Amino acid sequence: MRIDDQPTTADPRTLQGVGVSPGLAAGPVVLLAPPPGEPAAEPLAEGADVEAEAARIRPAAEQVAAALTAAAASVTGERRDLLETTAQMAQDPSLVKTAAKRVRTDRLTAPRAVWEAAATVAEQLRALGGYMAERARDVADVRDRLIAELTGAPVPGVPRGVDPFVLVATDLAPADTALLDPAQVRAIVTAEGGPTSHTAILARALGIPAVVGVTGAPTALPAGAVVLVDGSAGTVRTDPGPEELAAAERRATLERTFTPPGRTADGHPVQLLANVGDPAAAAGAAAAGAEGVGLFRTEFCFLDRAQEPGVAEQVAAYRAVLTHFPGKKVVVRTLDAGADKPLPFVTADDEPNPALGVRGLRTARRAPEVLDHQLQAIAEAAGAEQAEVWVMAPMVATAQETEDFVAACARHGLPTAGVMVETPAAALLSGPVLARAHFASIGTNDLTQYTMAADRMLGSLAELTDSWQPAVLRLISATCAGGAQQSRPVGVCGEAAADPALATVLVGLGVSSLSMTPRALADVAAVLAATDLATCRRLAQLAVDAESAAEARARVRAELPVLADLGL
């Protein structure tokens, strides 16, 4: 099977996609409420009040923003961030002013003016490429909500107040994804989206099985039809039998818990940690039994600000996370700005390709004081709490960058400094890098997109941006070899760690810790506890020797009957 082949299935009742959130679930199909569509291009009627028409746009934008802000107050963490970001975009002065100007100059109706103004903004974002192109999807979501408000049409999005269902859509806007209710949405199927899209990441965080990249969805899955979604295998069965439905029902009602420590069947230790992005997520991770934090994203302190937060403010924010893990490891990632997280005080707004630009540790070249202040705050927070604090830098590519970062940490009294391996360069140079750093943590999301030269948010490339890609697994193996050479631990904090089958492969390659969304801890722990280290190593070799992600996944899953026993 060639690397660019889409996985296929011989069963005509089964649609194949890319599984991005494990689990088995069944239910009737409910289609995402459609957007209002493109407004007519006819100009305003003669004698119409142009100023009154233009004046309708700002109140509509404020209403949309208020609704999104209210929705954000009902959720936490990344879900709140997504909704608040969309709310801010709804009130973007450039979008509102451009639309109002088109009403006045071209005598367009307000809905049509919004449509054309949004097209201009979206095109500008797509031209930037990489992560910034992702924001074009947010613009389309805001546009549709604004047009619905202006025309009185139903607001597009996930239906409310109906029996549990399988949600089917071409794609989900970040705001739609952020409002998903696991008690109502049993599974998600989309035609677009990738393994590291917002849909995939939040589906995993919420424990909702999800399959993306399903050709023909939603047209091939009519509303009301009962389907069976396997988020691990990446399949959607259109005519499931009674036994399959019963198995899905059992899985839906099963509640597994994780009791530390993580280990294989023969007792080989594997630290099972959590990824957190704010104090609320830290509390949830601690309650889920996480052995610590493998990725503490500090961006929540910095986003949506014109200036960096003060040291005292940062200290308070970091302590609110550290306090949940006394005596346990917490790996703090320094500011990962740039690309999809531009910040005016560390990044430029005119980079032609932000994904390959000044991001992560590279921002210290432009604003070294921001990193210096953050390390000072981390050190003060660590001194005030009882967590075992490790610090790592994102987007490292060279041994010299590593050496400089480790030295900066040492100056602030932070003795355990490491790096994220997100670039092929860092993976291939892991020996020299880990001769300087105390540990490495592999960010499989970025490592996959940089290895495969494929935008991780692009649904049409979902089969490429899959962490099962043998090329990616070989780079993980190379990183672990570098760690073994220097007697340094290597962990994984990317989304790959949340896949129970892939977790066995990662352990077999030499990974010593896995950090994931807290909801995945119990499933990953259960599969590892049923698999000895020798089997993990054998499965790792099977995956590395495969020629495609689909083949690697199929090989490993065929050798893990425990997955079926656990409904995974």
36, pLDDT greater than 90? no
Known catalytic membership, residue 198: yes
Indicate whether 369 and 472 sit together in one domain. yes
Residue tagged active-site, from 301, 480, 493, 536: 493
Indicate whether 124 and 245 sit together in one domain. no
- 43 within some domain: no
Indicate whether 498 and 554 sit together in one domain. yes
Indicate whether 326 and 403 sit together in one domain. yes
**Whole-angstrom Cα distance, residue 111 to residue 98?**
12
**Whole-angstrom Cα distance, residue 120 to residue 13?**
42
Residue 529: domain span: 271-565
For residue 350, the model assigns a pLDDT of 61
DSSP state of 157: B
For residue 160, the model assigns a pLDDT of 75
Among 119, 136, 151, the domain boundary falls at: 151
Q: Which helix (H) or strand (E) holds 419?
A: strand 417-421
- 314 within some domain: yes
**Whether 71 contacts 127, CB under 8 Å:** no
Residue 383: other Cβ atoms inside 10 A:
11
**3-class SS of residue 252:** helix
CA 53 to chain CA mean position, Å: 40
Among 253, 286, 306, the domain boundary falls at: 253
For residue 133, the model assigns a pLDDT of 60
Cα–Cα distances in angstroms (integers) from residue 521 to residues 457, 489, 498, in the given order: 25, 20, 7
- 524 within some domain: yes
Q: Each residue of 90-108: b (16+ CB within 10 Å) or e? A: bbbeebbebbbebbeeebb
- 4 within some domain: no
Residue 200 — very low, low, confident or very high, per pLDDT cuts 50/70/90?
confident
Known catalytic membership, residue 493: yes
Considering the chain, what percentage of its residues have pLDDT values greater than 70?
92
> Which of 34-38, 438-442, 532-536 has the weakest average pLDDT?
34-38
Residue tagged active-site, from 198, 324, 412, 438: 198
User: Sign of dihedral through CA atoms 216, 218, 223, 228?
Assistant: positive
- 468 within some domain: yes
Q: pLDDT per residue over 145-192, tens digit each?
A: 999 999 988 887 787 767 899 999 888 887 888 888 888 899 999 988
Indicate whether 444 and 524 sit together in one domain. yes
Indicate whether 60 and 105 sit together in one domain. yes
For residue 568, the model assigns a pLDDT of 78
Dig out the tokens for 497 from the structure: 């760690």
- 360 within some domain: yes
Indicate whether 233 and 329 sit together in one domain. no
Q: pLDDT per residue over 5-21, tens digit each?
A: 444 455 678 898 888 88
Indicate whether 22 and 77 sit together in one domain. no
- 219 within some domain: yes
47, pLDDT greater than 90? no
Residue whose token pair is 């997520």: 281
Indicate whether 313 and 355 sit together in one domain. yes
Residue 101 — very low, low, confident or very high, per pLDDT cuts 50/70/90?
very high
Among 151, 177, 193, the domain boundary falls at: 151
Dig out the tokens for 348 from the structure: 């430029």
Highest mean pLDDT among 69-78, 127-136, 252-261, 501-510: 501-510
Indicate whether 145 and 171 sit together in one domain. no
Residue 2 — very low, low, confident or very high, per pLDDT cuts 50/70/90?
very low
Closest to 256 (Cα-Cα) out of 563, 526, 565: 526
> Which of 249-263, 287-301, 442-456 has the weakest average pLDDT?
249-263
356: CATH: 3.20.20.60
- 78 within some domain: yes
- Overall domain count for the chain: 3
> Which of 239-253, 325-339, 418-432 has the weakest average pLDDT?
239-253
219: CATH: 3.50.30.10
Indicate whether 367 and 481 sit together in one domain. yes
Indicate whether 168 and 220 sit together in one domain. yes
